[in-house]
Amino acid sequence: MVQRSKRSLSPEEAREMQAKLKAFHHEVRKWCGEIPIGSTLYVALDALNSSLILTDRQFNAAIDGVRFQRHAGERGLE
């Protein structure tokens, strides 16, 4: 059985990381605007964009002190 880490993220650390994430997310969105839609690179950037949005939500939850609720049979990212 794998033991979960006892690490935590303070709201201040989450805000700092979120600011860096948003700057990178802006760059990724600019790159998507320069790449032909449907190309392999665009699809990869779109997947990266989706993961950045999810990460931003995770940071918001850490800042708000909320843990994402897991539905039956669904694995969370916590």
- pLDDT at res. 47: 93
Q: Tell me: the pLDDT tens digits for 57-75?
A: 988 888 887 655 555 455 5
The pLDDT score that the predictor gives to residue 65 is: 76
Contacts of 73 (CB under 8 A, 6+ apart): none
Q: What is the pLDDT of residues 2-57, one digit of tens each?
A: 556 666 777 788 889 889 999 999 999 999 999 999 899 999 999 999 999 999 99
In sign, the C-alpha dihedral spanning 65, 70, 9, 18 is negative
pLDDT at 12: 83
In this prediction the pTM is 0.65
